[in-house]
Amino acid sequence: MANIKSAKKSIKQDAKRTEANKAVRSKIKNDMKKVEVAVKEANKEKANTELKNFVSDIDSACSKGIVKKNTCAREKSRLNKKVKEMSK
């Protein structure tokens, strides 16, 4: 356990940030799953709206530094490819 006041505060701040980041990551994962379910159901409209939500959420997470830039690009590319293949 920390003895110095600033270290104690730092521990509290880290815990708060970790919870916030965890929430964002889980939201992104849920959005990914929603897109994949829509693709499996072959529902074009739902897939496109869910993809739009996913891209928005992952871009904001990327800009905050929660998700790395390449990871963001890779996930967007994979899901976009699945949605486009479904619409053919």
Instruction: Please report which helix (H) or strand (E) contains residue 37, including its range.
Output: helix 5-40
Task: Give the pLDDT band (50/70/90) at residue 2.
Answer: confident
Give pLDDT tens digits for 35-86.
Answer: 999 999 999 999 999 999 999 999 999 999 999 999 999 999 999 999 999 8
Give pLDDT tens digits for 6-31.
Answer: 999 999 999 999 999 999 999 999 99
**Cβ atoms < 10 Å from Cβ of 40:** 11
Task: Give 69's contacts (C-beta < 8 A, 6+ positions apart).
Answer: 62
pTM as predicted: 0.86
